[in-house]
Structure 1
Amino acid sequence: MAPPALVLLAPAQIPDPDDACWRDWLTAEEISFSRGFQRAHEHLAARRAAKAAVASLLGLPADHRLCRALEVVRAPGSGPVLRLGGAPAHLLRDAGLPHPRVSLTHARGHAAALAWLPVPKAGAR
């Protein structure tokens, strides 16, 4: 199983929340959700970091196509959940790998994300 992947973004790596580049990396739902917060740039960046971490975990390039095939969503009362489409979904299915999990954090202009493949519980099939 692949080791967890961690991506950290410093303030100099995080564009303004109104920068058009976010549309290359994030879905409309992710952008809308993130812009609902006072520090929108940190929320946007944490989602971008999650996609880069998942790309690293799966050995894929973190290009715009891949970023658009991944979506980090959050339902009220729960943590972030990763939705997969395109090449990442096919890769996991073909390799028989479990669905990656992600954890996001941000503070003082920084953002980070951790991605990992969960270990099956003992006796689970």
Structure 2
Amino acid sequence: MKKGIALSLVLLMVVFAVVGCGGAGNNEVVGTWKMSEVEAAGQTITVDQMIELMPSMESLLNMTITFEQGDKVKVEAAGISGEGTYKVDGSKVTISAEGQSMDFTLENGKMVIEQDGTKCYLKKQ
């Protein structure tokens, strides 16, 4: 399970590292969001717990996404940062980059992305 979570997080970070294109902002998401926990195979683990298990992944797990007023977004993880744009449609937040996009959902005050059955939760700082 640890390898699956780590692989999913690595894939997620690669996508964010190339952020760069399209949208319109929303005050609900404006601000900095930080990954707080991951859910996989019915288990939820906090980022702090994951860092204890895999200290070498700390810089990757301490990912932040900063949404600015309007449509600009900045993603930082593992010493890499990328800029792009975002669009909010109801509870759906889409970050677009170089013709590709990634969709998040706003749920109970958290931003959630699901990939291959693994959910990553981000909490507004």
TM-score range, shorter chain: under 0.3
- Identify, as 1 or 2, the structure richer in strand: 2
Structure with max Cα Rg = 1
Q: TM-score, normalised by structure 2?
A: 0.28
